[in-house]
Amino acid sequence: MNTNIVPITKARSNLSSLTQKVKGEKYVVLTKGGSPRAALVDIKYLTKLEDEVKKIYGKTFIDPSLLPLTRQFSKKETEKWRQEDKLA
């Protein structure tokens, strides 16, 4: 992957030329105060990424509407389950 990092203040005056750089998997990360804030991507690449996300949801059976109800499991919980699986 080829990434360009550009402050938003510089991107404003160079937007047209920056859009020419976002071909295929090349993208531009826009920063504000040194932190990433947004990205310019080729629309075909964005569509490809969206399709990949849909495939992942399909494979893992995650309903996007349920994501707010999910949580990270602690290391202790996952270790307990691994031990239980070994005993079964």
Element (H, E) at 3: strand 3-7
The class level of CATH for 3-87 reads: alpha beta
At residue 3, the pLDDT reads 64
At residue 70, the pLDDT reads 84
At residue 60, the pLDDT reads 66
AA letter at 50: E
pLDDT digits (tens, 9 = 90+) for 42-76: 999 999 999 988 887 666 677 778 888 888 888 89
pLDDT digits (tens, 9 = 90+) for 7-35: 999 999 999 999 999 999 999 999 999 99
Q: Which of 37, 45, 50, 44 is CA-nearest to residue 9?
A: 37
Domain boundaries, the chain: 3-87
At residue 46, the pLDDT reads 94
